[in-house]
């Protein structure tokens, strides 16, 4: 899934974790992203997938990479 891989890259970049160590079913909060990182990723999601402004709380509602990827897929 292209969206999932894109999210993996972004979360790895923002968290400093290696992409292959990130479990897509693990809660995103476990990756210790600060609020600025969450806002940055939310902004990048908007740009990359041509979405209207999204609230960074989307990371709490769709709290894994797999859930977030599915939500993004449903928005586009």
Q: 41-64 pLDDT, tens per residue?
A: 889 999 999 998 888 788 889 999
Taking alpha carbons only, the member of 73, 44, 68 closest to residue 57 is 68
Domains in the chain and their CATH numbers? 2-75 (1.10.1200.10)
What radius of gyration do the chain's Cα atoms show?
A: 11
pLDDT band at residue 26 using 50, 70 and 90 as cut-offs: very high
pLDDT at 35: 82
Phi, psi of 2, rounded to the nearest 5 degrees: -65, -40
pLDDT at 65: 94
pLDDT band at residue 12 using 50, 70 and 90 as cut-offs: very high
Distance in angstroms (rounded) separating the CA atoms of residues 41 and 54: 10
pLDDT at 33: 85
């Amino acid at each position: 899934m292209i969206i999932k891989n894109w999210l993996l890259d972004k979360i790895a970049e923002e968290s400093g974790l290696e992409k292959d160590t990130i479990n897509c079913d693990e809660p995103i909060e476990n990756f210790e992203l600060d609020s600025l990182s969450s806002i940055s990723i939310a902004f990048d999601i908007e740009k990359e997938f041509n979405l209207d402004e999204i609230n960074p709380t989307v990371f709490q509602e769709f709290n894994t990479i797999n859930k977030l990827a599915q939500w993004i897929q449903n928005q586009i």
